[in-house]
A and B are shown apart, each in its own frame.
Chain A
Amino acid sequence: MTLLDTEPIAIEAKKNARYYLDQAFYYTTLIFALTIAVALGWIILQIGITAFPAIEKFGLGFLTSTTWDPVRNIYGVLPQIYGTIVSALIALLVAVPLGLGIAVFLSEDFLPTFVSIPIAFAIELLAAIPSVVIGLWGIFVLIPFLRPFYGFLYTYLGWIPLFGSSPRGNSILTLGLVLAFMILPLITSISRGTLVSLPPHLRQGAMALGATRWETILRVLIPAGFSGIVGSVMLALGRAMGETMAAAMLVGNANRINISLLEPGSTIASLIASQFGEAGREQVSALLYAGLVLMILTLMVNILAEIIIQKFQNVER
């Protein structure tokens, strides 16, 4: 029998060129996948190292000082932190009800799909418009349009400190309103995704108990999707705090803290954008310190948002 005399066929992979190519491919993809995690760490480290001279010199006092004086090389970013947070809060105040309302309106079959899909698409396109174009539009169209409203606010509500100064166009309030429209697509699309992915028996159960459509939405669906909605709001907050070009063009870049929202202010991002180009060495270090503060603020918000959204998705499955 010649058949039995043949060598047994090797089933295990032969270590030939094909095998090594395959191994090389596997490790290449693994290294590239890890690149993104490495990049995140490297960014924090690199900005921290370059900002170190300023961190050493000003310490945490940098966060509570209101002086920004390149001539004497004394730096503090309290007005910028204030402006960043206040403008982002105004944006959330406007965008959360608006975005959530639209998410409900588009997800709960109020409209036939051939109407709701183009609306959803239009709102997503809003996210694609470059912020520098929104800034340009803000300077030449939105600010002249808003001026009469600001005049009205000052004349009739001027007794409230928030509106207690004669209005300029460039102000924290203008930036907040523009940021609201820039983060609206994010809130709408994530909240809508959350509402759509809720199990249908929640809706059916509430309806079977005799709830109207809106009672179902407000008492069952929104509480059930709450963490997804909170996650979307956190992501939007991070986006609003980091927005640069619209801020640099619309906030007025005034290095002061003003209670009045109609006054010009400044944000961390707008400070970096408007000063980096002409900065000397110590100022660059201070600006990088400011960048590190912004990075830490947005990282905390984003990581929290990620955790909330992932928790929610795990519950769903």
Chain B
Amino acid sequence: MTGLSQPNTPESDTVQLAKVWTSMRNLFGLFMTSLTGLFAVIAVIPLAAIIINVAAQGLPLINFDLFTKLPPPPGLSGGGLGNAIVGTLIVLAIAVVISVPIGVLGAVWLSEFGRGTKIAYWVRFSANVLSGVPAIIAGLFSYTIIVMTMGSFSAFAGGVALAVVMLPIVMRTAEEGLVLVPEDVRLAAFGLGATRFEVVSRVVLPAALPSIATAVTLAVARAGGEAAPLLFTALNNNFWSTDLFRPIATLSVQVYFFAIIPYKPQQDLAWAGALVLLAIILFVSITSRVLTRKRVY
């Protein structure tokens, strides 16, 4: 590679203007282009491999029982993950109920009232830092405030742990969407004599609805796959449970326990569970992507 600063050699009387493909500079560029192109291909390989492997291992095991039956005792085959699927939905619902109102209304303050203030800076800073906190720490937090005080592992504790994971994602994504609503729309509503509450609830929030849906789906996709915060909050349960204050099974935790068990039928269930989980999460992620593209403004 020759430098930019290298002067032309004074001996050369004719200047070569045509691009010489075999010059070191061009060969280097060609090499770097192919190398980074190769990198892009390498990066897509694990994604493809995971999806293909999980589908190949899991698809033959998808049947009606998988969604309706309880898991079998260790070593025995048959059964399904019905309780874990229901449990995942319950825990996620608790997390959504806690994190979405706080996240969306917090985002309203950031985008409507707090723009440019010191408080908004620190709230945003905390949200970014909190989203970098490992999910397992959210589990420990929920353990100390709920499991230790109530004396038992529970679906509720799992929901609180996932809410901590979801909150920064909901708040930051919703804020990004709210900021995109044009200022004119707000001014027009204020000009008609609306209060701040009326402007936000009747004009800004409906306009930003697709972005808020994106925020919620992104957070659900992230939290739905988390097993670490649930290991010692929701724990696990081999039976049907819809009691919010009892331990509950979830898909991700079930996949973890069945993956490290030395029995073939359980490992098969782990693959089937992984496929269901992956299908749900890819569906939700792609949905949120499509929602983002259809911005009203």
Chain A contacts to B: CB under 8 angstroms = 18-19, 21-22, 25-26, 28-30, 32-37, 39-40, 42-43, 46-47, 49-50, 97-99, 101-102, 104-106, 110, 119, 121-123, 125-126, 128-137, 139-141, 181, 184, 188, 206, 209-215, 217, 219, 235, 238-239, 241-245, 248-249, 269, 272-273, 276-277, 288, 291, 294-295, 298-299, 301-303, 305-306
For the complex, would chain B's binding face be called helix, strand, loop or mixed by DSSP majority? helix
Tell whether B148 is near chain A: CB-to-CB under 8 Å.
yes
Q: Which residues of B sit under 8 angstroms from A206, Cβ to Cβ?
A: 4
Q: Which residues of A contact B122 (CB under 8 A)?
A: 37
Contact with A along B260-288 (1 / 0, CB 8 A): 10000001001100100110011001100
Chain B's interface size range is: 35 or more
- Which residues of B from 144 to 161 have beta carbons under 8 Å from A? 144-145, 148
Q: Would B29 and A98 count as touching, CB distance under 8 A?
A: no
Q: Which residues of B contact A101 (CB under 8 A)?
A: 35-36, 39-40
Distance of B144 from chain A, by nearest CB (Å): 4
Q: Are A32 and B281 in touch, CB under 8 angstroms?
A: no
Q: From B105, B132, B141, give the contact of A29 (CB < 8 A).
A: B105
B57 cross-chain contacts in A, Cβ below 8 A: 140
Can you list 30 pairs linking A and B with CB atoms under 8 Å apart? A26-B197, A30-B119, A32-B101, A33-B105, A33-B106, A34-B119, A39-B130, A42-B141, A43-B137, A47-B140, A47-B141, A98-B39, A98-B42, A99-B43, A101-B40, A119-B44, A128-B282, A130-B226, A130-B252, A130-B281, A135-B256, A136-B255, A136-B271, A137-B50, A137-B54, A239-B132, A242-B134, A243-B134, A277-B232, A306-B128
Tell me if A105 and B106 are in contact (CB < 8 A).
no
A184: chain B residues at CB < 8 Å are 43
Asked whether B277 lies within 8 Å of A303 as measured between CB atoms, the reply is no
B291 interface residue, CB < 8 Å from A? no
Closest to A37 in B: B126
Task: Give the shortest distance, in Å, between A249 (CB) and chain B (any CB).
Answer: 6
Q: In the complex, which residues of chain A have a beta carbon less than 8 angstroms from the beta carbon of B105?
A: 28-29, 32-33
**A39: B residues at CB distance < 8 A:** 126, 130, 164, 167
Interface residues of B (CB under 8 A from A): 1, 4, 25-26, 28-29, 32-33, 35-37, 39-40, 42-44, 46-47, 49-50, 53-54, 57, 101-103, 105-110, 112-114, 119-120, 122-123, 125-130, 132-138, 140-141, 143-145, 148, 164, 167-168, 171, 195-198, 200-201, 221-222, 224-228, 231-232, 235, 252-253, 255-256, 259-260, 267, 270-271, 274, 277-278, 281-282, 285-286, 289
Are B44 and A123 touching (Cβ within 8 A)? yes
Other CB < 8 Å A-B pairs besides A136-B271, A137-B274, A140-B267, 10 of them?
A: A22-B196, A32-B102, A36-B106, A40-B126, A43-B137, A128-B221, A131-B228, A135-B256, A291-B136, A305-B132
Complex contacts, A104 vs chain B, CB 8 Å: 36
- Distance in angstroms from A53 CB to nearest chain B CB is 13
Indicate whether A291 sits within 8 Å of B137 (C-beta atoms), given known contacts A123-B44, A130-B278. yes
Query: Judging by beta carbons under 8 Å apart, are B136 and A128 in contact?
Result: no
Q: How far is the CA of A18 from the CA of B135 in the complex (A)?
A: 41
> How far is A211 from B259 in the complex, measured between Cα atoms in Å?
53
A123 vs B48: C-alpha distance when bound (angstroms)? 10
B134 close to A37 (CB less than 8 A): no
Given the interface pairs A36-B123, A130-B224, A212-B26, the reply to whether A242 lies near B137 with Cβ below 8 Å is yes
- Which residues of chain B are near A238, meaning CB under 8 Å? 132, 134
Closest to B137 in A: A295
How far does the alpha carbon of A101 sit from the alpha carbon of B31 in the complex, in Å? 12
Q: Which residues of B contact A244 (CB under 8 A)?
A: 134-136, 227-228
Other-chain residue from A106, A137, A249, A302 in contact with B133 (beta carbon distance below 8 A): A302
Nearest A-chain residue to B221, judged by Cβ: A128
| A249/B256 in contact, CB under 8 A | yes
Whether A141 and B49, one on each chain, are in contact in the complex, defined by CB atoms closer than 8 angstroms, is yes
Which chain B residues lie closer than 8 Å to A32 at the CB level? 101-103, 105-106, 109
Contact A26/B113 with A125-B282, A272-B140 known, Cβ cut-off 8 Å: yes
